[in-house]
Amino acid sequence: MAERRVAITGLGLVTPIGIGKEAFWNALLAGRVGVGEITRFDASTYPSRMAAEIRDFDASQYMDRRRMQWTDRFSQLAVVAALLACEDAGITIEGRSDVGVYTGSALGGLTYAEEQLVSFQKEGLRAVRPLLTLSVFGGAAPSNVAIQLGLHGPTIANADSCAAGAIAIGDAFRAIRRGEVSAAIAGGVEAPLAPLTYGAFTVARAMSTRNDDPGTASRPFDRERDGFVMGEGAGLLVLENYDDAVSRGARIYAEITGFGTTNDAHHMAAPLADGSQVSRAMAAALADASVGADEVEAINAHGSSTPLGDRAEVRAYQGVFGERASHIPISATKGQHAHALGATGAWEAAISALTLSEGRLPAAVNFTQADDGYAIDCTTTVRDVTPRIVLSNSSGFGGINAALVLRSVH
């Protein structure tokens, strides 16, 4: 059987700079930054005291209160993103067995477990909610999406750190291409803003300490970057068999044509300095898409704003594209929405799809100057572009790397 083509037809985005595709995209193009001082808990004694919080999220606008009582914030973010994605796609999928749900998350429902531990320590076992057992595992998010929409297809969750969302999309892409499902809801979700969970990243010295000016703290590829800024949210995409999408007259943002993933096999936190395995992931995705490196016309970078990570990523681009690496327009948007771990790769895949469909490449907010010897075309203003091929790149703790290739359908 011939491999099926895979279309992106719906974007469900719950982010610190906007909820819903339109709000998110408009905020991105306007340069809005969603980073500020943490309000979710007292971080006054922490080395890093900022985050990108979603301050206007109200799940009751999308879910009935009974369902809300049996879901924590992690699953609520996923359900709302799924509903928004289906609405955007104009698709009714309730009750179907040929639709899968594929999600990724670095931490799953860990922060809810942290809340319940506090209750347990104060009041004992009687204070622990039964919801705890149903919320902590990573599969809770796609399971709740499946329950909400009555979907009987495969429900797959991964915990592949900051590459989780991109890998979930890649897994769904492969499943549709092989004919295992006709459509999928795929992406990432993260709700990591709790005292211990957040604090553990500060102990690891992974996050920025630019507390006096949170809006400029996340600085992908900038020479003055000092660590990432944590965020929260969800990004789920509706993927469909391309022919089915065309038959129903769906708006198609882009086509996914390739996926690749590798592991540095080097260190749990520090990336392999030469970026060689990031290069391999990109090369694998390009080969999967039958696309040459010379055909890539724009990149949505991982760009986490960490000193080591960004440098290794630039080296990876040099390894794949050679001299062209300094001339391919790069969009790195974590300066605005920060780094929501497993959710961010899905946001960036959505941004890549919107770049192809809307002809606009968002700016890299807070980028001023790259490291010496690491020349890149990191756009500092929104650009009008007409690329045919965009590469979306993600990496995470554990040395996990993932790349997606998206093609224009216009």
**Residues with catalytic annotation?**
162, 302, 339
C-alpha span between 201 and 182 (Å, rounded): 39
Handedness of CA 24, 113, 167, 244 (dihedral sign): negative
Beta carbons of 261 and 280 less than 8 angstroms apart: no
Residue among 192, 202, 190 nearest 43 (CA): 202
Q: What letter does residue 271 receive in the DSSP assignment?
A: P
**Neighbour-count burial for 356-370, b at 16+ CB within 10 Å, e otherwise:** bbeebbbbbbbbeeb
Q: What letter does residue 327 receive in the DSSP assignment?
A: T
Task: Give the angle 210-215-221 at the CA atoms, nearest 5°.
Answer: 75
Tokens representing residue 380 in the block: 């500092």
Beta carbons of 330 and 148 less than 8 angstroms apart: no
Residue among 249, 280, 286, 221 nearest 400 (CA): 280
C-alpha span between 56 and 53 (Å, rounded): 9
Q: What are the DSSP calls for 150-181, one per residue?
A: T--S-EEEE--GGGHHHHHHHHHHHHHHTTS-
Residue 214: which region, alpha, beta or left (left: phi > 0; alpha: psi -120 to 50)?
A: alpha
